Amino acid sequence: MTYVLDAAATRHGLHVVGTTAEWATEVAEPLRHNSNVVLAFATFFAAPLLRWASEPGGGIHLHGPSTIGKTWVSDAAQSIYGWPHETADNAFGVTWAGSEAGFDALALARADTGLALDEITLSNRRTAEQIVYKLASGSKGPRASSTGQLRETVHASVLVLSTGEKSLAEFVDNLQEGARKRLVDVPAEVVQQPGSAFETIPRERLHLEAKRSFDAVKRQHGAVGRDWQRYLVYLGLDAIKKQLNQHREAFLALPEVVAVADKAHPQVVAALYRFALYAAATRMVIEAGLLPWTTEETDAGIVACMRRWVQQRGNIDTAEQFTRAVAEFKIALAAALPDRFIHIRKVGGKWAPVTEADEIRQRTWDAFDGYAKPDRVLLWPEAWHRLCNGVDPAVVARRLQQEGTLIDSKPEQVPGRVARFYVLSRKALTP
């Protein structure tokens, strides 16, 4: 059976072949007990719930070595709504190799179905972070029409399932904490099967099983997504909100989740709520009779992904976060010191550039991060905020002041002017 939604939907990969029961038997059932598959399925089942979840857009980035099955996980999940990326033109999923304008348009087409992005290294690393923020916020910045009037802003926040060999944090230099919260890095390689993204499939069987699965998703795709959206329409707004809240609270009450939440700082808690949304969606799909798994299985799968995320992140409480932030600040400052600062010394009672290169830098002094004196580093406030990398600058300042690295924030004499800087001890910065 083939059912085409409409011509426009087909161009965007939304296409129905087969039935939900056949999809459940041929695609979902063979992949049960695999945590990455649970999380990927949950992303697209949760997409139409996002508007009632009091959650921003964003999503999950599954990363890990090549040929462990990341694309297979994504394609199986894409079959919920249509043609998987690896199986057809005009597919439901796309690669990261697109323009910002293209992603703006695609977000509008994926508002209630989710967005699959494959291989982050195909993206421009200079714009990838901005795309994450735009997809998560769901709206463009203010735009004017040709007559100078303010255009109407269209909101289209989406849930994203991204894949790639590199994590978002590895791919984007100086990644802001806000972006890490919006597109959560989850290692795809599972503990039970080294070299595989599947708990039930060892590395040596990946190729064989993937071929079977790709053949299945070609035959069966789109029906379950259509039936899921119909079910939500029949369920009604009040019942959706009630069930969504009940299931999220049930997931957040699981001992494994409470153990993380009890010592987590706000940005980690935000990610936990994202995992809870995914768990709630799978619970609701199971109750609707559309997914042949159990609630215990899907909860366990999402908890397993959450644990890998926590282990990779390495800092979930506030104290650890700020300790790490201060260490990263000092490393970044030390790396910038040779090229991003104008080195000066006293000559005849006045401060002057040390070398010819410093003299050249002094001509465009406002393009650099500050000045380096023999005993101290002077950092412009704008550079200070950038090096804090999304962490509260006041907290970083307090930590550095407590350990004797930050002397003060005060006016200092430099060539041609007196200006206010963050003043740090060079001795304290030396490893």
* Residue 400, C-beta contacts closer than 8 angstroms, at least 6 positions apart: 326, 329, 406, 424
Element (H, E) at 9: helix 7-11
Q: What is the pLDDT of residue 156?
A: 60
Q: List the structure tokens of 222.
A: 């789109």
Answer yes or no: is pLDDT of 260 > 50. yes
Taking only the tens place, the pLDDT of each residue in 1-54 is: 334 444 445 555 678 889 999 999 999 999 999 999 999 999 999 999 998 888
Q: Which long-range CB contacts under 8 A does 286-293 form with residues at least 24 apart? A: 287/243, 288/228, 288/231, 290/20, 290/24, 290/224, 290/227, 290/228, 290/231, 291/24, 291/28, 291/41, 291/45, 291/224, 292/24, 292/25, 292/28, 292/29, 292/32, 293/28, 293/32, 293/38
β-sheet bridge partners, residue 421: 410
State the pLDDT confidence band at 134, using cuts at 50, 70 and 90.
confident
Mean pLDDT computed over 326-344: 91
Q: Is the model more confident about 323 or about 5?
A: 323
Contact 423, 410 (CB under 8 A): yes
Q: What is the pLDDT of residue 377?
A: 95
Answer yes or no: is pLDDT of 211 > 90. yes
Q: What is the pLDDT of residue 89?
A: 63
State the pLDDT confidence band at 324, using cuts at 50, 70 and 90.
confident
Q: How far apart are CA 93 and CA 110, in angstroms?
A: 10
Q: How far apart are CA 113 and CA 379, in angstroms?
A: 46
Mean pLDDT computed over 270-274: 87
Q: List the structure tokens of 149.
A: 């009037």
Q: Which long-range CB contacts under 8 A does 408-412 form with residues at least 24 apart? A: 409/381, 412/371, 412/378
Query: Is residue 278 helix, strand or coil?
Result: helix
Answer yes or no: is pLDDT of 227 > 50. yes
Q: How far apart are CA 38 and CA 395, in angstroms?
A: 38
Range of lowest pLDDT (170-179, 332-341, 378-387): 170-179
Range of lowest pLDDT (58-62, 110-114, 135-139, 334-338): 135-139
State the pLDDT confidence band at 317, using cuts at 50, 70 and 90.
low
List, edge to edge, every strand of the sheet that includes 58-63: 94-95, 115-118, 159-164, 58-63, 183-187
Q: Pick from 48, 92, 364, 388: which is nearest to 232 by CA?
A: 48
Q: Is the model more confident about 68 or about 430?
A: 68
Contact 44, 309 (CB under 8 A): no
Q: How far apart are CA 189 and CA 129, in angstroms?
A: 24
Answer yes or no: is pLDDT of 176 > 50. yes
Q: What is the pLDDT of residue 47?
A: 92
Beta strands in 34-126 (DSSP E): 58-63, 94-95, 115-118
Q: List the structure tokens of 77.
A: 């999940």
Answer yes or no: is pLDDT of 146 > 90. no
Taking only the tens place, the pLDDT of each residue in 62-96 is: 999 999 999 999 999 999 998 887 655 667 878 88
List b or e across 314-344, with b for residues whose CB sees 16 or more CB atoms inside 10 angstroms: ebbeeeebbeebbebbbebbeebbeebbbbb
State the pLDDT confidence band at 247, using cuts at 50, 70 and 90.
very high
Q: List the structure tokens of 331.
A: 């490393």
Structural domains for the chain: 2-316 (3.40.50), 319-429 (no CATH)
Q: What is the mean pLDDT of the chain?
A: 84
Q: How far apart are CA 210 and CA 258, in angstroms?
A: 36
Element (H, E) at 331: helix 318-340
Predicted TM-score of the model (pTM): 0.71
Taking only the tens place, the pLDDT of each residue in 373-415 is: 999 999 998 888 888 876 667 778 878 888 889 988 889 999 9
Mean pLDDT computed over 119-135: 78
Taking only the tens place, the pLDDT of each residue in 93-103 is: 788 887 667 77
Answer yes or no: is pLDDT of 319 > 70. no
Q: How far apart are CA 41 and CA 22, in angstroms?
A: 16
